[in-house]
Structure 1
Protein backbone atom coordinates (compact mmCIF):
# COMPACT_ATOMS: atom_id res chain seq x y z
CA UNK A 1 0.00 0.00 0.00
CA UNK A 2 1.25 3.47 -0.92
CA UNK A 3 1.71 5.37 2.35
CA UNK A 4 2.84 8.57 0.62
CA UNK A 5 0.44 11.42 1.49
CA UNK A 6 -2.06 12.13 -1.26
CA UNK A 7 -1.23 15.85 -1.41
CA UNK A 8 2.47 15.01 -1.87
CA UNK A 9 1.72 12.61 -4.72
CA UNK A 10 -0.42 15.31 -6.31
CA UNK A 11 2.34 17.93 -5.99
CA UNK A 12 4.89 15.61 -7.56
CA UNK A 13 2.56 14.97 -10.50
CA UNK A 14 1.86 18.64 -11.18
CA UNK A 15 4.95 19.45 -13.30
CA UNK A 16 4.00 16.65 -15.71
CA UNK A 17 0.39 17.83 -15.75
CA UNK A 18 1.56 21.34 -16.61
CA UNK A 19 3.78 20.02 -19.40
CA UNK A 20 0.93 17.92 -20.80
CA UNK A 21 -1.26 21.02 -20.85
CA UNK A 22 1.48 23.14 -22.42
CA UNK A 23 2.04 20.63 -25.21
CA UNK A 24 -1.69 20.57 -25.97
CA UNK A 25 -1.88 24.36 -26.06
CA UNK A 26 1.25 24.76 -28.21
CA UNK A 27 -0.16 22.29 -30.74
CA UNK A 28 -3.62 23.86 -30.72
CA UNK A 29 -2.69 27.54 -30.79
CA UNK A 30 0.95 27.59 -31.85
CA UNK A 31 3.86 28.49 -29.62
CA UNK A 32 3.55 32.25 -30.21
CA UNK A 33 -0.20 32.51 -29.60
CA UNK A 34 -0.39 30.21 -26.58
CA UNK A 35 -0.17 32.05 -23.26
CA UNK A 36 0.98 30.81 -19.87
CA UNK A 37 -2.50 31.52 -18.49
CA UNK A 38 -3.91 29.20 -21.19
CA UNK A 39 -1.57 26.48 -20.01
CA UNK A 40 -2.52 27.06 -16.37
CA UNK A 41 -6.23 26.94 -17.18
CA UNK A 42 -5.84 23.70 -19.15
CA UNK A 43 -3.80 22.14 -16.33
CA UNK A 44 -6.28 23.30 -13.68
CA UNK A 45 -3.68 25.24 -11.71
CA UNK A 46 -2.83 28.90 -11.12
CA UNK A 47 -0.55 30.88 -13.41
CA UNK A 48 1.74 31.42 -10.44
CA UNK A 49 2.10 27.68 -9.95
CA UNK A 50 3.16 27.25 -13.57
CA UNK A 51 5.87 29.89 -13.05
CA UNK A 52 6.91 28.14 -9.86
CA UNK A 53 7.95 25.12 -11.92
CA UNK A 54 8.83 26.80 -15.23
CA UNK A 55 10.07 30.42 -15.26
CA UNK A 56 9.09 31.14 -18.88
CA UNK A 57 7.24 29.81 -21.89
CA UNK A 58 10.61 28.88 -23.42
CA UNK A 59 11.36 26.84 -20.31
CA UNK A 60 8.07 25.00 -20.77
CA UNK A 61 8.99 24.07 -24.33
CA UNK A 62 12.47 22.97 -23.37
CA UNK A 63 11.10 20.79 -20.56
CA UNK A 64 8.55 19.23 -22.93
CA UNK A 65 11.26 18.22 -25.37
CA UNK A 66 13.66 17.04 -22.67
CA UNK A 67 10.99 14.89 -21.00
CA UNK A 68 9.95 13.19 -24.23
CA UNK A 69 13.17 12.97 -26.20
CA UNK A 70 16.09 12.85 -23.79
CA UNK A 71 15.40 9.35 -22.39
CA UNK A 72 15.07 8.00 -25.94
CA UNK A 73 18.25 9.79 -27.03
CA UNK A 74 20.14 8.61 -23.95
CA UNK A 75 19.18 5.00 -24.63
CA UNK A 76 20.05 5.19 -28.33
CA UNK A 77 23.39 6.90 -27.71
CA UNK A 78 24.32 4.34 -25.07
CA UNK A 79 23.65 1.54 -27.58
CA UNK A 80 25.63 3.24 -30.34
CA UNK A 81 28.62 3.82 -28.05
CA UNK A 82 29.23 0.10 -27.49
CA UNK A 83 28.52 -1.25 -30.97
CA UNK A 84 30.98 -3.80 -32.30
CA UNK A 85 30.84 -5.40 -35.71
CA UNK A 86 28.43 -4.50 -38.48
CA UNK A 87 26.91 -1.09 -37.66
CA UNK A 88 23.85 -1.81 -39.80
CA UNK A 89 22.56 -4.08 -37.04
CA UNK A 90 22.69 -1.25 -34.53
CA UNK A 91 21.21 1.26 -36.96
CA UNK A 92 18.26 -1.00 -37.66
CA UNK A 93 17.70 -1.51 -33.93
CA UNK A 94 17.95 2.19 -33.09
CA UNK A 95 15.77 3.35 -35.98
CA UNK A 96 13.25 0.62 -35.16
CA UNK A 97 13.10 1.87 -31.57
CA UNK A 98 12.62 5.42 -32.87
CA UNK A 99 9.71 4.30 -35.04
CA UNK A 100 8.12 2.62 -32.02
CA UNK A 101 8.48 5.84 -30.03
CA UNK A 102 6.94 7.88 -32.84
CA UNK A 103 3.97 5.52 -32.85
CA UNK A 104 3.10 6.99 -29.44
CA UNK A 105 0.98 10.11 -30.12
CA UNK A 106 2.44 11.83 -27.06
CA UNK A 107 5.97 11.45 -28.37
CA UNK A 108 5.00 12.10 -31.99
CA UNK A 109 3.62 15.45 -30.83
CA UNK A 110 7.18 16.71 -30.24
CA UNK A 111 8.43 16.43 -33.84
CA UNK A 112 5.10 17.88 -34.97
CA UNK A 113 5.65 20.89 -32.75
CA UNK A 114 9.26 21.36 -33.86
CA UNK A 115 8.39 21.08 -37.56
CA UNK A 116 5.61 23.61 -37.21
CA UNK A 117 7.44 26.16 -35.10
CA UNK A 118 11.15 25.96 -35.95
CA UNK A 119 10.85 28.00 -39.14
CA UNK A 120 9.29 30.96 -37.36
CA UNK A 121 11.02 30.73 -34.01
CA UNK A 122 14.79 30.12 -34.16
CA UNK A 123 14.85 29.56 -30.39
CA UNK A 124 12.74 26.43 -30.87
CA UNK A 125 15.16 25.05 -33.46
CA UNK A 126 18.19 25.97 -31.34
CA UNK A 127 16.75 24.24 -28.29
CA UNK A 128 16.01 21.05 -30.26
CA UNK A 129 19.49 21.16 -31.77
CA UNK A 130 21.10 21.48 -28.34
CA UNK A 131 19.03 18.74 -26.71
CA UNK A 132 18.99 16.22 -29.57
CA UNK A 133 20.96 16.91 -32.74
CA UNK A 134 24.24 18.06 -31.21
CA UNK A 135 24.37 14.78 -29.31
CA UNK A 136 23.03 12.36 -31.90
CA UNK A 137 24.81 13.48 -35.07
CA UNK A 138 28.40 13.01 -33.78
CA UNK A 139 27.53 9.58 -32.36
CA UNK A 140 26.01 8.32 -35.61
CA UNK A 141 28.84 9.86 -37.65
CA UNK A 142 31.39 8.01 -35.53
CA UNK A 143 29.46 4.75 -35.88
CA UNK A 144 29.35 5.06 -39.66
CA UNK A 145 33.04 5.94 -39.84
CA UNK A 146 33.95 2.85 -37.80
CA UNK A 147 31.84 0.73 -40.15
CA UNK A 148 33.67 2.19 -43.14
CA UNK A 149 37.09 1.74 -41.53
CA UNK A 150 36.28 -1.90 -40.72
CA UNK A 151 35.03 -2.69 -44.24
CA UNK A 152 31.36 -3.19 -43.44
CA UNK A 153 30.34 -0.06 -45.34
CA UNK A 154 31.57 1.60 -48.49
CA UNK A 155 34.09 4.40 -48.10
CA UNK A 156 31.90 7.50 -48.16
CA UNK A 157 31.71 10.83 -46.38
CA UNK A 158 30.42 9.78 -42.95
CA UNK A 159 29.12 13.24 -42.07
CA UNK A 160 27.09 13.52 -45.27
CA UNK A 161 25.91 9.92 -44.92
CA UNK A 162 24.23 10.86 -41.63
CA UNK A 163 22.12 13.32 -43.62
CA UNK A 164 21.17 10.55 -46.03
CA UNK A 165 20.19 8.43 -43.04
CA UNK A 166 17.99 10.93 -41.20
CA UNK A 167 16.90 13.10 -44.13
CA UNK A 168 14.20 10.74 -45.47
CA UNK A 169 12.77 10.34 -41.95
CA UNK A 170 12.53 14.12 -41.53
CA UNK A 171 10.97 14.55 -44.98
CA UNK A 172 8.47 11.74 -44.35
CA UNK A 173 7.30 13.46 -41.16
CA UNK A 174 7.31 16.91 -42.75
CA UNK A 175 5.21 15.79 -45.73
CA UNK A 176 2.63 14.34 -43.36
CA UNK A 177 2.56 17.02 -40.69
CA UNK A 178 3.21 20.21 -42.65
CA UNK A 179 1.76 19.42 -46.07
CA UNK A 180 -0.78 16.72 -45.08
CA UNK A 181 0.67 14.25 -47.60
CA UNK A 182 0.86 10.71 -46.20
CA UNK A 183 0.40 7.11 -47.33
CA UNK A 184 -3.18 5.90 -47.39
CA UNK A 185 -2.76 4.12 -44.06
CA UNK A 186 -1.28 7.10 -42.23
CA UNK A 187 2.39 7.48 -41.38
CA UNK A 188 2.99 3.74 -41.96
CA UNK A 189 6.14 3.98 -39.86
CA UNK A 190 7.05 0.30 -39.89
CA UNK A 191 6.67 0.02 -43.66
CA UNK A 192 8.56 3.26 -44.11
CA UNK A 193 11.44 2.04 -41.93
CA UNK A 194 11.76 -1.26 -43.82
CA UNK A 195 11.66 0.52 -47.17
CA UNK A 196 14.10 3.23 -46.11
CA UNK A 197 16.65 0.82 -44.65
CA UNK A 198 16.43 -1.53 -47.65
CA UNK A 199 17.35 1.36 -49.95
CA UNK A 200 19.95 2.76 -47.56
CA UNK A 201 21.75 -0.48 -46.83
CA UNK A 202 21.89 -1.59 -50.45
CA UNK A 203 23.57 1.71 -51.17
CA UNK A 204 25.96 1.47 -48.21
CA UNK A 205 26.97 -2.18 -48.40
CA UNK A 206 30.55 -2.78 -49.46
CA UNK A 207 31.04 -4.94 -52.53
CA UNK A 208 33.25 -8.02 -51.91
CA UNK A 209 35.99 -6.71 -54.20
CA UNK A 210 36.21 -3.47 -52.20
CA UNK A 211 37.45 -5.13 -49.00
CA UNK A 212 39.02 -8.35 -50.22
CA UNK A 213 36.18 -10.78 -49.61
Structure 2
Protein backbone atom coordinates (compact mmCIF):
# COMPACT_ATOMS: atom_id res chain seq x y z
CA UNK A 1 0.00 0.00 0.00
CA UNK A 2 2.76 2.38 0.92
CA UNK A 3 4.64 1.48 -2.29
CA UNK A 4 1.59 2.32 -4.40
CA UNK A 5 1.02 5.56 -2.54
CA UNK A 6 4.62 6.64 -3.08
CA UNK A 7 4.30 6.18 -6.84
CA UNK A 8 0.95 7.89 -7.19
CA UNK A 9 2.08 11.54 -6.74
CA UNK A 10 4.92 10.99 -9.22
CA UNK A 11 2.47 9.61 -11.76
CA UNK A 12 0.11 12.54 -11.23
CA UNK A 13 2.92 15.04 -11.75
CA UNK A 14 3.92 13.20 -14.92
CA UNK A 15 0.35 13.26 -16.25
CA UNK A 16 -0.05 16.94 -15.44
CA UNK A 17 3.19 17.74 -17.29
CA UNK A 18 2.20 15.92 -20.47
CA UNK A 19 0.40 18.81 -22.23
CA UNK A 20 3.48 21.01 -21.83
CA UNK A 21 5.73 18.21 -23.06
CA UNK A 22 3.55 17.88 -26.16
CA UNK A 23 3.68 21.64 -26.69
CA UNK A 24 7.46 21.70 -26.27
CA UNK A 25 7.86 18.92 -28.83
CA UNK A 26 5.51 20.64 -31.27
CA UNK A 27 7.29 23.97 -30.90
CA UNK A 28 10.62 22.35 -31.71
CA UNK A 29 9.22 20.65 -34.80
CA UNK A 30 7.31 23.69 -36.04
CA UNK A 31 10.54 25.67 -35.73
CA UNK A 32 12.71 23.06 -37.44
CA UNK A 33 10.50 22.09 -40.37
CA UNK A 34 7.44 24.34 -40.37
CA UNK A 35 3.88 23.85 -39.23
CA UNK A 36 2.56 22.45 -42.53
CA UNK A 37 5.17 19.68 -42.70
CA UNK A 38 4.73 18.56 -39.11
CA UNK A 39 2.32 15.77 -38.23
CA UNK A 40 0.76 14.73 -34.94
CA UNK A 41 2.67 11.42 -35.27
CA UNK A 42 5.94 13.35 -35.34
CA UNK A 43 4.94 15.43 -32.34
CA UNK A 44 4.05 12.28 -30.41
CA UNK A 45 7.38 10.65 -31.23
CA UNK A 46 9.35 13.76 -30.29
CA UNK A 47 7.47 13.97 -26.96
CA UNK A 48 7.95 10.26 -26.30
CA UNK A 49 4.22 9.49 -26.26
CA UNK A 50 1.84 7.50 -28.37
CA UNK A 51 -0.36 9.37 -30.84
CA UNK A 52 -3.36 8.41 -28.71
CA UNK A 53 -1.82 10.06 -25.67
CA UNK A 54 -1.40 13.31 -27.60
CA UNK A 55 -5.05 13.19 -28.61
CA UNK A 56 -6.05 12.94 -24.96
CA UNK A 57 -4.93 16.55 -24.58
CA UNK A 58 -5.18 18.03 -28.09
CA UNK A 59 -7.80 17.08 -30.67
CA UNK A 60 -5.71 18.11 -33.70
CA UNK A 61 -2.51 19.77 -34.87
CA UNK A 62 -4.44 23.05 -34.95
CA UNK A 63 -5.36 22.55 -31.29
CA UNK A 64 -1.67 22.05 -30.46
CA UNK A 65 -0.82 25.34 -32.15
CA UNK A 66 -3.66 27.02 -30.26
CA UNK A 67 -2.19 25.62 -27.05
CA UNK A 68 1.16 27.17 -27.92
CA UNK A 69 -0.47 30.53 -28.61
CA UNK A 70 -2.42 30.48 -25.36
CA UNK A 71 0.65 29.46 -23.36
CA UNK A 72 2.61 32.36 -24.86
CA UNK A 73 -0.19 34.85 -24.23
CA UNK A 74 -0.91 33.90 -20.61
CA UNK A 75 1.83 36.06 -19.02
CA UNK A 76 0.68 39.07 -21.03
CA UNK A 77 -3.01 38.48 -20.41
CA UNK A 78 -2.59 38.05 -16.68
CA UNK A 79 -0.50 41.20 -16.41
CA UNK A 80 -2.62 43.45 -18.60
CA UNK A 81 -5.97 42.60 -20.13
CA UNK A 82 -8.10 42.29 -17.00
CA UNK A 83 -6.54 45.35 -15.40
CA UNK A 84 -7.17 47.44 -18.50
CA UNK A 85 -10.89 46.67 -18.46
CA UNK A 86 -11.43 48.09 -14.97
CA UNK A 87 -8.82 50.84 -14.92
CA UNK A 88 -9.67 54.54 -14.59
CA UNK A 89 -7.01 57.23 -14.88
CA UNK A 90 -3.87 57.95 -16.85
CA UNK A 91 -3.46 54.92 -19.12
CA UNK A 92 0.28 55.32 -19.57
CA UNK A 93 1.41 53.22 -16.56
CA UNK A 94 -0.67 50.27 -17.81
CA UNK A 95 0.50 50.77 -21.38
CA UNK A 96 4.09 50.68 -20.12
CA UNK A 97 3.43 47.44 -18.21
CA UNK A 98 1.81 45.91 -21.28
CA UNK A 99 4.61 46.82 -23.69
CA UNK A 100 7.30 45.77 -21.21
CA UNK A 101 5.58 42.42 -20.60
CA UNK A 102 5.18 41.77 -24.32
CA UNK A 103 8.83 42.64 -24.91
CA UNK A 104 10.01 40.48 -22.02
CA UNK A 105 7.92 37.56 -23.26
CA UNK A 106 9.20 37.92 -26.82
CA UNK A 107 12.76 38.03 -25.52
CA UNK A 108 12.37 34.37 -24.56
CA UNK A 109 13.30 32.14 -27.50
CA UNK A 110 10.38 29.75 -27.06
CA UNK A 111 7.77 32.48 -26.78
CA UNK A 112 9.31 34.52 -29.58
CA UNK A 113 8.97 31.58 -31.95
CA UNK A 114 5.19 31.37 -31.64
CA UNK A 115 4.22 34.67 -33.34
CA UNK A 116 6.86 33.99 -35.99
CA UNK A 117 5.22 30.65 -36.76
CA UNK A 118 1.88 32.43 -37.07
CA UNK A 119 3.30 35.08 -39.40
CA UNK A 120 5.02 32.54 -41.62
CA UNK A 121 2.14 30.06 -41.87
CA UNK A 122 -0.92 32.33 -41.84
CA UNK A 123 -0.82 33.33 -45.56
CA UNK A 124 -1.18 29.68 -46.59
CA UNK A 125 -3.49 28.68 -43.73
CA UNK A 126 -6.22 31.24 -42.92
CA UNK A 127 -7.35 29.15 -39.98
CA UNK A 128 -4.07 29.90 -38.23
CA UNK A 129 -4.61 33.64 -38.61
CA UNK A 130 -8.13 33.27 -37.21
CA UNK A 131 -6.76 31.26 -34.29
CA UNK A 132 -4.30 34.00 -33.37
CA UNK A 133 -6.96 36.66 -33.76
CA UNK A 134 -9.39 34.83 -31.48
CA UNK A 135 -6.78 34.03 -28.82
CA UNK A 136 -4.87 37.30 -28.81
CA UNK A 137 -6.07 40.22 -30.91
CA UNK A 138 -9.75 39.97 -30.00
CA UNK A 139 -8.70 40.34 -26.37
CA UNK A 140 -5.82 42.79 -26.61
CA UNK A 141 -7.21 45.42 -28.98
CA UNK A 142 -10.61 45.99 -27.27
CA UNK A 143 -8.93 46.15 -23.86
CA UNK A 144 -6.38 48.68 -25.03
CA UNK A 145 -8.92 50.75 -26.99
CA UNK A 146 -11.15 50.96 -23.91
CA UNK A 147 -8.19 51.97 -21.77
CA UNK A 148 -7.29 54.77 -24.18
CA UNK A 149 -10.92 55.91 -24.55
CA UNK A 150 -11.30 56.44 -20.83
CA UNK A 151 -7.93 58.21 -20.76
CA UNK A 152 -9.09 60.66 -23.42
CA UNK A 153 -12.48 61.15 -21.75
CA UNK A 154 -10.83 61.87 -18.40
CA UNK A 155 -8.36 64.35 -19.88
CA UNK A 156 -5.38 62.20 -18.90
CA UNK A 157 -4.07 62.06 -22.48
CA UNK A 158 -4.65 64.17 -25.58
CA UNK A 159 -7.62 63.48 -27.86
CA UNK A 160 -6.08 60.74 -29.98
CA UNK A 161 -7.91 58.09 -32.01
CA UNK A 162 -8.00 55.15 -29.54
CA UNK A 163 -8.15 52.41 -32.19
CA UNK A 164 -5.25 53.73 -34.25
CA UNK A 165 -3.25 54.51 -31.14
CA UNK A 166 -3.71 50.95 -29.88
CA UNK A 167 -2.03 49.75 -33.07
CA UNK A 168 0.79 52.23 -32.53
CA UNK A 169 1.39 50.97 -28.99
CA UNK A 170 2.38 47.44 -29.98
CA UNK A 171 3.40 48.02 -33.60
CA UNK A 172 7.06 48.98 -33.01
CA UNK A 173 7.72 45.88 -30.91
CA UNK A 174 6.29 43.56 -33.57
CA UNK A 175 8.18 45.32 -36.38
CA UNK A 176 11.38 45.09 -34.33
CA UNK A 177 10.77 41.33 -33.97
CA UNK A 178 10.18 40.95 -37.71
CA UNK A 179 13.30 42.89 -38.64
CA UNK A 180 15.38 40.82 -36.26
CA UNK A 181 14.03 37.31 -36.78
CA UNK A 182 12.73 37.33 -40.35
CA UNK A 183 15.02 39.82 -42.12
CA UNK A 184 18.05 39.34 -39.83
CA UNK A 185 18.41 43.10 -39.30
CA UNK A 186 19.40 43.97 -35.74
CA UNK A 187 20.97 46.91 -33.91
CA UNK A 188 24.73 46.69 -33.41
CA UNK A 189 24.21 45.51 -29.85
CA UNK A 190 21.95 42.60 -30.81
CA UNK A 191 18.23 42.33 -30.15
CA UNK A 192 18.28 45.30 -27.72
CA UNK A 193 14.63 44.80 -26.79
CA UNK A 194 14.89 46.74 -23.53
CA UNK A 195 16.41 49.75 -25.25
CA UNK A 196 13.76 49.61 -27.97
CA UNK A 197 10.97 49.61 -25.36
CA UNK A 198 12.52 52.51 -23.45
CA UNK A 199 12.88 54.52 -26.65
CA UNK A 200 9.40 53.64 -27.89
CA UNK A 201 7.65 54.53 -24.63
CA UNK A 202 9.43 57.87 -24.37
CA UNK A 203 8.20 58.85 -27.84
CA UNK A 204 4.71 57.40 -27.32
CA UNK A 205 4.13 59.05 -23.96
CA UNK A 206 5.38 62.43 -25.17
CA UNK A 207 2.83 62.18 -27.96
CA UNK A 208 0.04 61.33 -25.51
CA UNK A 209 0.68 64.32 -23.24
CA UNK A 210 -2.52 66.39 -22.90
CA UNK A 211 -2.51 69.51 -25.02
CA UNK A 212 -1.26 72.59 -23.19
CA UNK A 213 0.99 70.57 -20.89
CA UNK A 214 4.35 72.23 -20.46
The answer to whether the 8 A contact 2:79-2:97 is kept is no
2:61 equivalent in structure 1: 57
Shift of 1:71: 4.3
1:45 equivalent in structure 2: 49
Of 149, 159, 174, the match for 2:178: 174
SS, match of residue 163 in structure 1: helix
Indicate whether 1:79 and 2:88 are aligned. no
2:137 equivalent in structure 1: 133
Indicate whether 1:205 and 2:205 are aligned. no
Shift of 1:186: 2.4
Of 92, 102, 126, the match for 1:88: 92
Shift of 1:190: 0.6
SS, match of residue 48 in structure 1: helix
Unaligned runs of 5+ in 2: none
C-alpha separation in 2, matches of 1:117 and 1:52: 25
The answer to whether the 8 A contact 1:115-1:174 is kept is no
1:187 equivalent in structure 2: 191
The answer to whether the 8 A contact 2:122-2:129 is kept is yes
C-alpha separation in 1, matches of 2:120 and 2:181: 8
The answer to whether the 8 A contact 1:114-1:124 is kept is yes
SS, match of residue 155 in structure 2: coil
Shift of 1:6: 2.3
The answer to whether the 8 A contact 1:153-1:206 is kept is yes
1:134-173 equivalences under 5 Å are 134-173=138-177
CA RMSD across the alignment:
1.9
Indicate whether 1:13 and 2:37 are aligned. no
Indicate whether 1:98 and 2:82 are aligned. no
Shift of 1:133: 0.5
Shift of 1:29: 0.8
Shift of 1:112: 2.1
1:29-40 equivalences under 5 Å are 29-40=33-44
C-alpha separation in 1, matches of 2:98 and 2:106: 12
C-alpha separation in 2, matches of 1:148 and 1:135: 21
Report the TM-score, using the length of structure 1 for normalisation. 0.90
C-alpha separation in 2, matches of 1:175 and 1:119: 18
Count of residue pairs brought into register by the alignment: 209
C-alpha separation in 2, matches of 1:74 and 1:117: 27
1:22 equivalent in structure 2: 26
Unaligned runs of 5+ in 1: none
